[in-house]
Amino acid sequence: MRRELDMFFSSFPTVAEGFQLKTWRGGPQAGQPKLPPAAKTLLERGLMRLDTTARIPRLFFTDAGLDDLRAMMADPRLANREKFAHIRQELGLSG
């Protein structure tokens, strides 16, 4: 998750935009989103939801997931305050 929230090609992602997923190109799962193991567990725990209505499927945080993300970003042992300042600001965490 921290990798997804870090700078990407000199731009910062936002939590509101969600995480873009790749899709299967062939086989029995063609057109379905590829879910990494971490994403599967977040979905199973109800911390994220899968949106397949757009052309590119995305994962979005649920309310419970946003609460857990806030707790993670508030703990300097789990998330560097300077590196993730853009996420902390979006989540309304001060300092």
CB contact at 8 A, 93 and 85 = no
Q: Whole-prediction pTM value? A: 0.83
- Please provide the average confidence, as pLDDT, over all residues in the chain: 88
Q: For the chain, where are the alpha helices, taking DSSP H only?
A: 2-5, 37-44, 63-74, 85-90
Report the C-alpha gap between 5 and 8 in whole angstroms: 8
CA–CA separation, 28 vs 20, rounded Å? 21
Which pLDDT tens digit goes with each residue over 69-86?
A: 999 999 999 988 988 888
Q: How confident is the model at residue 2 (pLDDT cuts 50, 70, 90)?
A: low
Q: Residue 40: pLDDT above 80?
A: yes
Contact 61, 46 (CB under 8 A): no
Q: Does an H or E element contain 61, and which?
A: strand 58-61
